[in-house]
Amino acid sequence: MPDKIQPRTLKGFRDYLPAAMIPREWLVDTARRVYRSYGFSPIDTPALEYLEILTGKGSDETDKQLYRFADHGGRDVGLRFDLTVPLARFAAQHIQELGTPFKRYHIANVWRGENTQRGRYREFMQCDFDTIGTESISADIEMVLVVHDLFSAIGIEQFTIHGNNRRVLNGLLEKLGLVEQSTSVLRALDKLAKAGAEVVAQELATTAGASDSQVRDIMKLASLSGDNNQILAQLEPLLSGSETGERGLTELSEISNAIAAVGVPSERFRIDVGIARGLDYYTGTVLETFLDDLPGIGSVCSGGRYDNLAEVYTKEHLPGVGASLGLDRLLSALEELGTLEKTSTPAPVFLPFFDADRRNEYLRLAAQLRAAGIGVEFFPEPKKLGKQLQFADRRGFRVALIMGADEFAAGQCQVKDLSSGGSTTASTSDDAAAVIAEILQILKA
Number of residues forming the site for a second copy (CB under 8 A): 107
112 marked as part of a ligand binding site: yes
Report whether 314 contacts 183 (CB < 8 A): no
Using the minimum distance from each CB to a second copy, give the nearer residue, 86 or 248. 86
Query: Of the candidates 27, 31, 58, 104, which one interacts with a second copy according to CB under 8 A?
Result: 104
Report whether 56 contacts 311 (CB < 8 A): no
| Residues of this chain, 66-85, that bind a second copy according to CB under 8 A | 67-73, 75, 77, 79
257 contacts a second copy (rule: CB under 8 A):
yes
Query: Of the candidates 337, 363, 385, 433, which one interacts with a second copy according to CB under 8 A?
Result: 363
Report whether 127 contacts 327 (CB < 8 A): yes
Q: For residue 48, with 0-12 CB atoms within 10 Å meaning exposed, 13-18 middle and 19 or more buried, which class applies?
A: middle
What is the CA angle 436-438-442, rounded to 5? 115
Name the region of 177 (left: φ>0; alpha: ψ -120 to 50; beta: rest): left
126 marked as part of a ligand binding site: yes
408 contacts a second copy (rule: CB under 8 A):
no
In the complex, minimum distance from the CB of residue 319 to a second copy, in angstroms, rounded to a whole number: 11
Query: Of the candidates 30, 126, 131, 324, which one interacts with a second copy according to CB under 8 A?
Result: 131
The whole-angstrom separation of Cα 3 and Cα 242 is 73
Report whether 221 contacts 190 (CB < 8 A): no
The whole-angstrom separation of Cα 29 and Cα 27 is 5
Query: Of the candidates 208, 252, 258, 333, which one interacts with a second copy according to CB under 8 A?
Result: 258
| Span near a second copy by CB under 8 A; candidates 164-172, 232-240, 260-268, 400-408 | 260-268
83 marked as part of a ligand binding site: yes
| Residues of this chain, 309-348, that bind a second copy according to CB under 8 A | 310-315, 344-347
Q: How many CB atoms lie within 10 A of CB 311?
A: 15
161 contacts a second copy (rule: CB under 8 A):
no
In the complex, minimum distance from the CB of residue 402 to a second copy, in angstroms, rounded to a whole number: 17
Q: CB neighbours of 431 closer than 8 A, spacing ≥ 6? A: 368
385 contacts a second copy (rule: CB under 8 A):
no
Residues placed in the known binding site for L-histidine:
82-84, 112, 126, 130, 277, 281-282
